[in-house]
A and B are shown apart, each in its own frame.
Chain A
Amino acid sequence: MTSVKMTVNGKSVSGEVEGRTLLVSFLREQAGLTGTHVGCDTSQCGACLVHVNGDAVKSCTMLALEAEGADVATIEGQANADGSLNVIQQAFQDHHGLQCGFCTPGMVMSAAALLKENPKPSESEIRNYLQGNICRCTGYHNIVKAVLAASGQDVGAIAAE
């Protein structure tokens, strides 16, 4: 076992991990942040996507020890300071961009990374960027709409419902 320490959502978190412990396992089991989900074991689904030092990272592709000293952001730290939903979260609710909610944390974190990189993405840019996040419920229609809305763009071109 090795000690590891990182900042998660602005708070210092430390623990003892095996060399093989994945960042996602550390976040879920030691930091107690169960909002980050595990949907596959081949780094395909994106349910575990978090930000590490500002970059979008599938936390199943990274060992906990590799995140030593890193600044990690998870879904639990995304709401506004007063606890209300942030712009992206609110857009997902407004446009019904989630159903079962399991892929949602990764989807929101991915959307946040996209909008940081590209504040006004086109519909096809959104669809291409989100290829690494699988949703089985929504057919993506309302997720794309939510991301467009979160970026302040008109969603009128996408059907009302």
Chain B
Amino acid sequence: MPKDSGIGASSKRREDVRFLTGAGNYTDDINIRGQAYVHFLRSDVAHGKINGIDTNAAEAMPGVVRIFTGKDFEGIGGLPCGWQVTDRHGEVMQEPPHPVLAQGKVRHVGDPIAAVVADTAEQARDAVEAIEVDLEELPAVINMKEALKEGATKVHDDLTSNLCYDWGFVEENKGAVEEAIQNAAHVTTLELVNNRLVANPMEPRVAVGDFERGTGNSTLYTTSQNPHVIRLLMGAFVLGIPEHKLRVVAPDVGGGFGTKIFHYAEEAFCTFAAKAINRPVKWTSSRSEAFISDAHGRDHVTKIELALDADNNFTAVRTETHANMGAYLSTFAPSVPTWLHGVLMAGNYKTPNIYVNVKAVFTNTVPVDAYRGAGRPEATYQLERVIDKAARELGVDPIALRRQNFITEFPYDTPVAVTYDTGDYGATMDKLEEMADIAGFAERRRQSEAKGKLRGLGINCYIEACGIAPSNLVGQLGARAGLYESATVRVNATGGLVVMTGSHSHGQGHETAFPQVIAEMIGIDESMIEIVHGDTANTPMGMGTYGSRSLAVGGSAMVRAAEKVINKAKKIAAHLMEASDADIELKDGAFSVAGTDKSVAWGDVCLAAYVPHNYPLEDLEPGLEETAFYDPSNFTYPSGAYACEVEVDPDTGKVTIERMMAADDFGNVVNPMIVSGQVHGGLAQGIGQALLENCVYDENGQLLSASYMDYAMPRASDLPNFEVDHSCATPCTHNPLGVKGCGEAGAIGSPPSVVNAVIDALNSGGKDVPHIDMPMSPARVWAAMNRASATGHGTAEGRSLGGASG
């Protein structure tokens, strides 16, 4: 029987009521008395020298309060990067400054040059149009391969080249990998593009800065996944405001998907300007502005080689990747192609030799940083595509080839530095085979063919590292922050309680799922528990929500704090019942003395804590409130197996997803309804990447896909119903809930199965197409089928790293 409350119940989401009635409180819904509005003048060229800015005419425009340029920020810090990568030669990465407003040069379309603050948003926008900038356009460098050539235009004059770092992992394994590849019975090589994407949460970014003259305190309301991180970065590194004089509030946030992790110039600007003009300052991004100012995602070009022995055992994997950083280093950009990507290259397989080389490259494009999955989708895509290609070349069953190479014993130390604590890849594959009805595929293919369509089946596995992360480990790897999480559990005198969490919900349903855990622990109704998040003023220092970490790390902190509360409450209960602490049991909201019929209700103990008339005051402080910080001892490793069935129209190249199936191992599940929803959303974004979405620059650095007219967001009619399962559960061994995280899995696991399915369909129709780059638009698929040249045989232009291509 499904449970109706507590851990494992599909409790309905309490936050839905406000969202469904228009009562949500998003940042753009916040208006502070007297607020002014800012509009940014952004560069319309990819690279240029600012010879002068004439603001005279604009200053005379109606409603203009003040115009800011780079000069106003000369004494102010730049936007900091939160991760320093050390390259394969022991050198630290090249790290250019990232000013709030451009200083002398612009480096991508959208780079902010000036900002007009005016009484209304319309007046600010009008005045921006009256600013005259003497902008000398310079040659732009867009293509990563071109950017690395000797003599290429440099994005940053002060750097030695456009190479941010040249990372090798694990450098000591390089020789052994080369040897294994030389001695292999078979080597499969594939070059591919992980297409650049834009996260596109439906709520554009917003910032409202406020300065209180009486106290000297600043407040920033912002669309962030991690308000404490923004407070630390902006306060300490950009504006020099001590944290105790700065409050950051991220109220209801309309989706994030990674792109709202980072500290952005507009946040610092609004906080700075509010003090400078002594008025609140509000910025609301338009969608067009979001396309040229939100950090983008992915954008890797990779060559991967998979070596196999004569028995089809994997013996080595070697990759070479170019990763686009864009024009500046966004907050966590350097970590994405390295520690979130290289360490996942073992996948689900016991490949003994692995070497990953990543060259991170500056280009005159918007900065690239984490987007749902961040590095792990790129790793999974390469590996699961090359395995499929190997199976096809060797004429073996792609499922059998995977199964033969699965890691089956845990804990497992990979050759790329991580230890998988638990998993059962055979179990999720068994489940997937059952869900996918592989036996019935031949008949479904026959039916499609009878309609003149080609049908393909693609499968893949994935593993990810989530629950980011053990602080001491990431510190060694270059993180400039700790990655613990925090929670305060405050019990009220009448028995209800509030959990103040450093995690942040922007759609994940913390307000519902977190109380389920506490309700289970204490045995009280979920409605007695309230979750507070998103405000540095009333939550303990926490690192926020990304990397599928809320429940695994934030939930664990909450459990630890609740355990402290329960331990103290047991002491109070022991006093009230004149028993020993050790004999007290808590069940169904009541404390009892083991082996007796003595009992005292949860509420009575809470009341005693705050009205301590009959209370062991000499041994115990009054009150019932505890805080815990939880720093995980390892990552968590969700894993699974996915399948996709497509139909391809051979006349047009159009791909239709007929079925999409996901068998995931997330460990224990608190709210199955929410978990399924997370997988659905991830699948949609993965299918979007595979078939529809592409962020495209022209050779001059103009963003061609800069609105929803050109960037193909998945719509309801593009997607099928999904079949998802998370019954295969190997609980995480090192956190108290045994949970692994589920937010990114769908986006990580789905692109390879879609591509594998399309390749399978084309091959079934006699088209020997080894690979098509994403997004597999009808034009690309048709060109690949027909060996047409317009789109390079279905490959993305300029992807070649110079090696052999598939």
Contacts and interface: CB of A to CB of B under 8 A. Distances in A.
Interface of A: 18, 20, 28, 33-42, 44-45, 47, 74-76, 78-79, 85, 89, 92-94, 96, 98-105, 108, 123-124, 126-128, 130-131, 133-144, 158-159, 161
A99 B10 contact: no
Contacts of B672: 161
B21 A126 contact: no
Contacts of B26: 34, 37, 102
Main secondary structure of the interface of A (DSSP, over half): loop
8 contacts: A33-B22, A38-B284, A44-B707, A44-B713, A93-B16, A101-B20, A104-B20, A136-B202
Contacts of B10: 161
Contacts of A104: 19-20
A39 B203 contact: yes
B23 interface: yes
Interface in B210-238: none
Contacts, number: 191
Interface of B: 10, 12-13, 15-24, 26, 28-29, 122, 200-204, 252-255, 257, 284, 286-288, 506-509, 672-674, 676-677, 680-685, 707-709, 713-717, 719, 721-724, 746
A140 B716 contact: yes
B717 A128 contact: yes
Contacts of B15: 101
Given A38-B204, A96-B674, A137-B507, 19 more contacts: A33-B22, A34-B29, A38-B284, A41-B287, A42-B709, A89-B21, A92-B16, A93-B13, A99-B255, A99-B507, A101-B20, A102-B202, A103-B254, A134-B713, A136-B681, A137-B255, A137-B681, A139-B719, A139-B722
Contacts of A123: 721
B707 A161 contact: no
Contacts of B201: 100, 102, 136
Contacts of B122: 18, 20
Contacts of B254: 37, 100-103
A42 B717 contact: no
List of 4 A-B pairs having minimum Cβ-Cβ separation, nearest first: A35-B22, A101-B19, A102-B254, A139-B684
Contact of B12 (A18, A40, A74, A94): A94
B675 to A, nearest CB: 8
A75 B255 contact: no
Contact of A139 (B506, B673, B683, B709): B683
Contacts of A127: 716-717, 719
A45 B716 contact: no
A108 B724 CA distance: 25
Contacts of B685: 136, 139
Contact of B24 (A35, A39, A141): A35
B707 A42 contact: yes
B21 A99 contact: no
A100 B707 contact: no
Contact of B715 (A35, A93, A124, A134): A134
B202 A159 contact: no
Contacts of B200: 136
Given A38-B28, A126-B716, A134-B708, A103 B677 contact: no
Contacts of A137: 202, 255, 507, 677, 681
A74 B22 contact: yes
A35 B28 CA distance: 11
A159 to B, nearest CB: 6
Contact of A40 (B22, B708, B746): B708
Given A136-B255, A140-B719, A99 B17 contact: no
Contact of A37 (B203, B683, B709): B203
Contacts of A108: 20
B24 to A, nearest CB: 5
Contact of A100 (B29, B506, B724): B506
A117 B610 CA distance: 58
A100 B202 contact: yes
B716 A75 contact: no
A99 B719 contact: no
A104 B244 CA distance: 36
B236 to A, nearest CB: 29
Contacts of A100: 19, 201-203, 252-255, 506-507
A136 B673 contact: no
A42 B17 contact: no
Contacts of A94: 12
A39 B722 contact: no
A98 B708 contact: no
Contact of A99 (B12, B681, B721): B681
Contacts of B202: 37, 39, 45, 47, 100, 102-103, 134-137
Contacts of A143: 716
Contact of B20 (A33, A89, A144, A159): A89
Contacts of B682: 139
Contacts of A47: 202
Nearest to B10: A161
Given A92-B20, A99-B255, A141 B707 contact: no
Nearest to B19: A101
A98 B16 contact: yes
A45 B507 CA distance: 18
A155 B525 CA distance: 30
B22 A141 contact: no
A90 to B, nearest CB: 8
Nearest to A135: B202
A144 B716 contact: yes
A38 B201 CA distance: 12
Contact of A34 (B22, B506, B677): B22
A128 B252 CA distance: 29
Given A40-B287, A41-B286, A42-B707, A93 B713 contact: no
A18 to B, nearest CB: 7
A142 B677 contact: yes
A87 B419 CA distance: 49
Please indicate which of the listed interface residues B24, B508, B673, B676 has the most CB atoms of chain A within 10 Å of its own CB: B24
Nearest to A123: B721
A103 B16 CA distance: 12
A159 B662 CA distance: 12
B627 to A, nearest CB: 28
A32 to B, nearest CB: 9
